Structure 1
Amino acid sequence: MALKIEQKTNIDSEPCVVTLKSNKLFIGTENGSIECLNADLSPSAKWLAHDVQLFAIAASDKHVYSTSNDGTIRVWTFNGDKVVEIATVGTDIGALYILNDKQLYAGDEGGNIFVYEDHILIASYNVLEEVKDVIVNPPYMFTARDLYVTVTEIKPDESKDRFVTRHVMEGRAPLRIISGSHLLAIARGGNSLQLHELSMDSKFKKIHEVKVSDMILTSLSTYGDVAWTGGWDGVVRRWKISGNKIEAAGEVNLGACINGLAAFSSESAYAIVTGGLIVKLNSA
């Protein structure tokens, strides 16, 4: 099944990271700016967030969060007004995750995870390895670099520094939760997709794996029981979780490396592509 290009546009800087919230697409670029696009890819706002390339971006229902190499997390309104700048005590932050529009998790290259609520630090942990991605399904936090996925039990509302490492398994970033009951991770080789049970009882057992590409995967996004992948080969692929299996459900070649994906629904997703191309895809 071929995916359909529904809309596309170009921006004037290399798109590096992307997040989607409230029908707004926020794109962090190589020159340090954030570009906000509407659902139809028309421009909404643009502002200089950092002096150099953005490393990570995330959005809650009210704010956009960005990081670069300046040791800060910067918080913005959807129109680009600066709310606050949070100075961190670790190294460069390369991963951001927002839990329930309430708590912000920030992971850095030194293995530190900082947890913020209302822009105030409430907890911090160290998982001993650079954090390229972090996701949270309480009480478990999943972190990954490029060899292992670490499962850590945390309770930031009860303790600001206590944690227990519960499990370690092969895998690498990016990570996503799908269908509320499974974990998706990229395999250590970088070109396969792994499906795990989201259960400590089974020690997050791997139940299926499919080869997605001959080249490295850079991007993974989920919505409901559907996943979208993309990478160096320029192909965006759509996958459906059927029972305990990952099944192919469409693809399209966009002709250049996929730098990021943001699923809008089970049927549609946005892709940011090397060279400044921004595309809205649909499976119908």
Structure 2
Amino acid sequence: MSRKKRSKKMPFHVATRADDVDKHEFDVNQLIYHKGKLYSAGDDGKIKMWAPDLKFLKEVQAHPCSIYSITADGDAIYSCSNDGTVKSWELETLKKKTVFLEDKEVEFWKVKYDKGILYIGDDQGNVRMYKNETFYGSINVAIPVKDLAIKDNLMFASKDNDVIVTDLILQEEKPQFGIKATLMGRGPLGLVDNKVIFLSRDGKDILVNQIDEQQHLKETAKVVKAHDMIINGAIAVNWDGNPWLFTAGWDKVIKKWKIANDSLKADGSCNIDFIVNTMAYGDKDQIYAAGSDGHIARLDL
């Protein structure tokens, strides 16, 4: 009796890469995927736009030195740099809109757009907030802000030793806030469903905290020595009701984790030939990774 051959799904793998002639000259620090395109920013001061298959589309020399972070709203990209500026760019053309903020006394390390508010974190622990490009208010979280994540009215800020959880009230004329918790750990930060994910202080253990209905946090899962070396990139995503976490870093291995109830289970890995600094998720079952020497790759599940 003949048997039909079942199609075998290819394992987690590198599907395509940016051509060497198009990539950044130096390290890539941030990736974002917005409205069907990938945007990258790096130590060469450039923002580059890519099609989903990593075909190069266009670029702009956005800053004279390193770009630490980019974020996007509907029709604009915001970039921040150690040159003390935050700038905005047209989404489709990458033409400069404005020097949005300038303060030569600080380095701006993180920009994050969420629900109508642009958050800007700096090396002195300040988080400035803007609504419709108008200054709304600022708070200080007492640590340099290398990474930011927003979940409803909770703001998570981190650098190397602690994750500061701040309770925000954003319905007033000026933002009100209170420090809710200080958790031992570091970024990169990931948010998916009602969970916040970050790393231990040594950057090798993965910690999962549940956010309950009262917005209290409780550690529900921990993976010790998830990587052999420090994790630089992490991204969490829910596809069709299935939450996933992807991590990578100095060991040049990208790992996939299944988030199930109160556990984090390894579900595959992929070796790559560069140190990963940053990750982003694209369309369903597609992850982007970038890092040393300007390399960018797309991995398919």
Given the two structures, how large is their TM-score scaled by the length of structure 1?
Answer: 0.94
Task: Tell me which residue corresponds to 1:27.
Answer: 40
Alignment of 1:163-242 (within 5 A): 163-178=177-192, 180-199=193-212, 201=214, 203-210=216-223, 211-224=225-238, 225-242=243-260
**Do the aligned partners of residues 278 and 18 (structure 1) sit closer, same or farther apart at CA in structure 2, a change above 3 Å counting?**
same
For structure 2, the 5+ residue unaligned runs are 1-9
Aligned pair 1:155/2:169, yes or no? yes
Task: Tell me which residue corresponds to 2:59.
Answer: 46
1: CA distance between counterparts of 2:284 and 2:204? 22
Deviation at 1:161, TM superposition (A): 5.0
Identity of aligned residues (%): 26
Alignment of 1:2-81 (within 5 A): 2-9=11-18, 10=20, 11-14=23-26, 15-78=28-91, 79-81=93-95
Deviation at 1:265, TM superposition (A): 4.3
2: CA distance between counterparts of 1:200 and 1:145? 27
Q: Deviations over 1:39-61 (max 9, x none)?
A: 11111111100001111111122
Aligned pair 1:278/2:296, yes or no? yes
Kept in 1, the 8 Å contact 2:24–2:295? The answer is no
Corresponding residue SS for 2:229: coil
Tell me which amino acid in the other structure corresponds to 1:94.
Answer: W
Q: Whose radius of gyration is greater, 1 or 2?
A: 2
Corresponding residue SS for 1:275: helix
Aligned pair 1:246/2:264, yes or no? yes
For structure 1, the 5+ residue unaligned runs are none
2: CA distance between counterparts of 1:12 and 1:143? 28
Q: Deviations over 1:118-174 (max 9, x none)?
A: 111112100111111111112211111111111111123315253111111111011
Given the two structures, how large is their TM-score scaled by the length of structure 2?
Answer: 0.89
**Do the aligned partners of residues 132 and 12 (structure 1) sit closer, same or farther apart at CA in structure 2, a change above 3 Å counting?**
closer
Deviating 4+ runs (over 6 angstroms) = none
Task: Tell me which residue corresponds to 2:107.
Answer: 92
1: CA distance between counterparts of 2:55 and 2:284? 22
Task: Tell me which residue corresponds to 1:119.
Answer: 133
2: CA distance between counterparts of 1:53 and 1:174? 19
Deviation at 1:275, TM superposition (A): 2.1
**Do the aligned partners of residues 199 and 88 (structure 1) sit closer, same or farther apart at CA in structure 2, a change above 3 Å counting?**
farther
Corresponding residue SS for 2:293: coil
1: CA distance between counterparts of 2:14 and 2:152? 36
2: CA distance between counterparts of 1:94 and 1:228? 23
